Amino acid sequence: MLLIAIAADIAGACSEHDVQQTPNLLLSSDRLTAEHATCSKLRSVPQDATGPRDQSGRYVKGSKPVLIRNATIWTGEPVPGTSLEDAHAGKGYAWISSDVYMEHGLIKRVEPAISVDSLSHDCDVWDAQGGLLTSGIVDMHSHTGVDSLPDLVGSEDTNELSNDITPYVRSIDGLNPLDPQLQVIKSGGVTTSLVLPGSGNNIGGEAFVIKHAVGKPDGRPEISAEDMLADPEKHWRYMKMACGENAKRVYGTVGREFGPFSRLGEAWYFRHAFEQASTLVKAQDDWCDAADRLGAENMPDYLPMDLHWESLGAVLRGQVMVNTHCYTIPDLEAFVRHTNEFKFPVRAFHHAHGTYLVPEILKRAYGDRPPAAALFADNMYYKAEAYVASEQAGKILYDSGITPVYVSDNPVLNAQHVVFEAAKAYRYGLPYHAALAGVTSASAELLGLGERIGKVKPGFDADIVVWDSDPLSVGATPIQVWIDGTAQYDAPVELKKPAPEPMKPDIALADVGAEMVGKADVIFAGVSKVVLPGTEYQLNTEGSLGHVVVRKGVITCVGRCQDDILAAQGDRVEVLQLRNGHLAPPITAFGSFLGVEEIAAEEDTQDGENDESTFSAALDGLLFGSKSLNAAYSHGVTRAISAPAFKNGGHKGVSVGFKTGALHALDEGAVWNDEAAAHYTLTLAAKQGKTPSLSSAVSELRTKLLKAVDANATDARLSLEDRKLNEVVAGKTALVIDVHSADIIASVLRLKAEVEAATAAKSSESHAIRLVIFGGAESHLLAPELAAANVSVVLAPLLAYGVSWDQRRSLTGAPLTNGTAIGILHAAGVKVAIGTSEDWETRDLALYAGIAHVNSGGKISESEALKMVSSNIYEMLGLKEKYVAGPGDFVVYDGNPLQIDSRVRAVADGRGVVSVWT
């Protein structure tokens, strides 16, 4: 206090120029001078990393130059001279034939027919054979490295939950370069990720942009997180913030002094934090201004510093790109208010499922550009905040001048497939070039690295992917990935596919205004393919497009149909024109919580969860009239088989077969199988209550089944569980077990043999248990054993990755592994189906069938793949209802349902009407 007063006196008494200062003998003048020097750093405003250089800052001496010959390249830019307006509309973008030369960690030349004579003599040549080449994929929302997989307590470093406001922590301090997921992600073409702290806190801490190259095998000098930094010169800093549900769930406790308990509290915690940071910034600025005037050695005190608020101060100084997890209108609006109150920009709102409703609110944010929206394409409804989400969000935002980008939130989605999010965004109406930009150039630009990564252009970092098919096509897989010009795979597994061709962007997908109407009669024109197994309806118009005539909800004619059409025209039946129309069988969702749960994080919207001592029938808790059921139905999933949920994950109880389009359970045909199968769970979730170990859970199931072998199956007063178990041991009801671990699957196979032996010992009539493995991440390890035991597998998800310990031996596919579980099980003769592990995935079942087909090297045909999401399920469960696909049950698509540019135009589920989207 005293020193400040003295300084003020001096400053007040003398004019600035002739002041005779008395150096303060209590302070170190060296330190004062050094701190004065930091003032310019405090005041500096970062610029984006610049473009062309001679050598990348990440270049490792000794890395050889590479010439990629004969590629088909998406540069990520329109041709020079394209106006902004045209570029926004996608004009000037094209795939071009060219070579790429990379040296010193940079792309040096992108030109056709580069002569080797003009290049460094030690250059490697890689023949792309016309393959499709893009820049590496950029994922600007990942937790890889801090949320290491498989999830283990010891390596979980996502959220610093000691306080709601932790701007002072940094993701790089927990980043584990040996997280195997870093390599899995790269195998999907992702070369750069923004590693954010989690969203448990309102202010989560600093984030870092990394490249997925680790240690010597990836061309790096050593295994080090620091060495992974994408921008070693550190132009920008990044910070994660989060609004809404998470922080109040994590911290809110009634009466506790610190919260937040509500959004009201969150806004206060944000503002209070910004106020602290702002106080620090002002004190520093005052000090620096005074030191400029008076000379550092004359300052009465040192530069104010406070590590607690340093990084948030940098936010207010405009040196940090803020990325904020924010879903809802109140959250977005509150956060935009904070940006204006404290004058800092927000670079992107993440998750952002509500942004498409309020682009103008985003435009009110502080700064000279509105924040972008970092989205999932169709992962939605999982929490209350995500319940307003729209599949069309990307397109709507893009049309409103807000940049949509697509992110994984790895491990929420496996970032290996983040390009599939962009593909689905394209499917839902975002223009092709904008969808691709949403995982390359637009994301790079939002990281301040738009002149370094995300495009194939001289002077950019040499991060390149060559794909086996168009990157936005179903199942697109890298053949090779380069980071800083170094090929990342010595012997990549390459899938057998037809010669790759770029997709022809389908602008009809942008027409998203379709309304659903129910019609009894309709004529579909422009039909090129009809696949309705077991019916007489096969298209035989010899190459020309045919018609499908529907009367009273039932197909009456396929083909030329002149008479039917004439008759229908007399009745003024509407003709619906299809683009490359396909008729395909309806899809059945198996293993989702459709009908028993609407919002995963909201108990009130669910039937509830059974625990180790309860067992129920899903039929008794079936819930209709939900958005998830609507979404399933509108994607051609007319039927679902759902079991009650089990506490902590999985299923327990009796599943029900029902129609997703029904109004309620008493609607005619709504429930077509009261008791489809008996379900138990032996994943890690099985360790609870009276079965604290996996061994005790297996043992309990064994005891129950052996008891059933001895029981009197005719006793009408048996409990539901005893009755079902009696049916299971008699081979009349399928036993479906949620299990991933190959070791526990082995236990289940032994258990099956034991119970069957007990049945055989008791009666002359021996029965095989109809066993179905659900989940099955590691089931490929036991493919021959499963085939020998006649056990079928429902893969859920189709493409497992090592999220949890019991899934760590998942096969993630090319270029890392030779195939995935589905191909290996199929080749071994195991009956396979594709289930869903989360409800939103039911939308994508047809595309999953597409992946199973297109990535099978010709071994799984299209029609076999479609059976994996329909009839196979009925066969493996041995249901008395045969799978229905026929004149009254069908789905009409524009395009091939297994391909990305298909769209459902009509659905019929045997109720006498066709739902048509016009």
| Closest by CA position to 322, among listed 440, 147, 167 | 167
Query: Does residue 719 touch ligand NAG according to CB under 6 A?
Result: no
Q: Which is nearer to ligand NAG, 14 or 768 (CB)?
A: 768
Tell me the CA end-to-end span of the chain in Å, nearest whole number.
76
d(CA 440, CA 364): 26
Asked whether the beta carbons of 204 and 196 are under 8 A apart, the reply is: yes
Q: Which is nearer to ligand NAG, 37 or 768 (CB)?
A: 768
Stretch that binds ligand NAG, among 299-307, 427-435, 576-584, 711-719 (CB under 6 A): 711-719
Chain centre to alpha carbon of residue 582: 28
Q: Which is nearer to ligand NAG, 540 or 818 (CB)?
A: 818
Q: Which is nearer to ligand NAG, 516 or 828 (CB)?
A: 828
Chain centre to alpha carbon of residue 854: 20
Query: Does residue 710 touch ligand NAG according to CB under 6 A?
Result: no
Q: List beta partners, residue 111.
A: 99
Asked whether the beta carbons of 793 and 776 are under 8 A apart, the reply is: yes
Query: Does residue 826 touch ligand NAG according to CB under 6 A?
Result: no
Chain centre to alpha carbon of residue 126: 32
Q: Which is nearer to ligand NAG, 29 or 817 (CB)?
A: 817
Q: Which of 424, 770, 808, 853 binds ligand NAG (CB under 6 A)?
A: 770
User: What angle, 0 to 180 degrees and rounded to 10, lies between the N-to-C axes of helices 742-762 and 694-710?
Assistant: 20
d(CA 684, CA 696): 12
Q: List beta partners, residue 907.
A: 891, 915
Q: Is 283 exposed, middle or buried (0-12, 13-18, 19+ CB in 10 A)?
A: middle
Q: Which of 87, 161, 493, 816 binds ligand NAG (CB under 6 A)?
A: 493
In this structure, what token pair is assigned to residue 441? 């150039």
| Closest by CA position to 584, among listed 853, 865, 872 | 865
Q: Which of 130, 295, 492, 526 binds ligand NAG (CB under 6 A)?
A: 130
Query: Does residue 763 touch ligand NAG according to CB under 6 A?
Result: no
Query: Does residue 400 touch ligand NAG according to CB under 6 A?
Result: no
d(CA 854, CA 898): 9
Query: Does residue 15 touch ligand NAG according to CB under 6 A?
Result: no
x/- site string to ligand NAG, residues 778 to 797, per CB under 6 A? ------------x-------
Query: Does residue 712 touch ligand NAG according to CB under 6 A?
Result: yes
Tokens 């069938």 correspond to what residue? Answer: 849
Stretch that binds ligand NAG, among 184-192, 360-368, 712-720, 861-869 (CB under 6 A): 712-720
Q: Which residue type, as a one-letter code, is found at position 18? A: D
State which H helix or E strand residue 480 sits in.
strand 478-483
Q: Which is nearer to ligand NAG, 547 or 780 (CB)?
A: 780
Query: Does residue 718 touch ligand NAG according to CB under 6 A?
Result: no
Q: Which is nearer to ligand NAG, 544 or 712 (CB)?
A: 712
Query: Does residue 70 touch ligand NAG according to CB under 6 A?
Result: yes
| Closest by CA position to 737, among listed 856, 650, 851, 660 | 650
Q: Which residue type, as a one-letter code, is found at position 518? A: G
Q: Which is nearer to ligand NAG, 320 or 745 (CB)?
A: 745
Query: Does residue 129 touch ligand NAG according to CB under 6 A?
Result: yes
Which 792-821 residues touch ligand NAG, going by CB under 6 A? 818-819
Asked whether the beta carbons of 612 and 650 are under 8 A apart, the reply is: no
Shortest separation between residue 786's beta carbon and ligand NAG, angstroms: 11
Shortest separation between residue 108's beta carbon and ligand NAG, angstroms: 20
d(CA 564, CA 572): 12
Query: Does residue 714 touch ligand NAG according to CB under 6 A?
Result: yes
Rounded-to-5 percentages of helix, strand, coil across the chain: 30, 20, 45
Query: Does residue 878 touch ligand NAG according to CB under 6 A?
Result: yes
Q: Which is nearer to ligand NAG, 702 or 770 (CB)?
A: 770
Strands 522-530 and 546-551: antiparallel
Q: Is 358 exposed, middle or buried (0-12, 13-18, 19+ CB in 10 A)?
A: middle
In this structure, what token pair is assigned to residue 341? 């109150």
Shortest separation between residue 771's beta carbon and ligand NAG, angstroms: 8
Shortest separation between residue 133's beta carbon and ligand NAG, angstroms: 12
Q: Which is nearer to ligand NAG, 130 or 180 (CB)?
A: 130
Stretch that binds ligand NAG, among 405-413, 562-570, 709-717, 905-913 (CB under 6 A): 709-717
Shortest separation between residue 170's beta carbon and ligand NAG, angstroms: 41
**Nearest residue to the partner ligand NAG, using Cβ:** 130
Query: Does residue 715 touch ligand NAG according to CB under 6 A?
Result: yes
Stretch that binds ligand NAG, among 254-262, 437-445, 650-658, 708-716 (CB under 6 A): 708-716
| Closest by CA position to 883, among listed 871, 893, 894, 891 | 871
Binding residues for ligand NAG, rule: CB under 6 A, are 70, 129-130, 493, 712, 714-715, 768, 770, 790, 818-819, 878
